[in-house]
Amino acid sequence: EKRFTHINDTFDCAVCLKKIKPHPSSCRNHCPFCLSSLHLDINPGDRASSCKGVMKAVSYKIHSKKGLMIHHKCTKCHVVKINRASHEIKSQPDDFNKILSLTPKN
């Protein structure tokens, strides 16, 4: 079973409608401006979820090995997914202040 499908395309944010560029070295699945995403995947990149709800950033955690992680919760089915923040890249970095305004997780 493949657990990760590499998809790193330009997309328009379904919430703030901004055009989002591909990540320069990884995959991007959330908007760096409003931090929202869509519930499209079961496993990263598989596009197998039937939900398609808006995923809102609700909290963050600093992981000892992976760095700053953003927790997204689906507004439709309430599933929670965790994504690595991209606040240190040069091209469309995640809004660091917006991340820090979320609830920190212990």
Distance separating alpha carbons of residues 58 and 73, to the nearest angstrom: 7
Structure tokens at 91: 């091209």
Q: Summarize pLDDT for 10-56 with one digit per residue, the tens.
A: 999 999 999 999 888 888 889 999 999 999 988 888 888 999 999 99
Tally Cβ neighbours within 10 Å of residue 10: 9
Whole-structure pTM value: 0.87
Distance separating alpha carbons of residues 92 and 53, to the nearest angstrom: 24
Distance separating alpha carbons of residues 83 and 66, to the nearest angstrom: 10
Q: Summarize pLDDT for 19-28 with one digit per residue, the tens.
A: 999 888 888 8
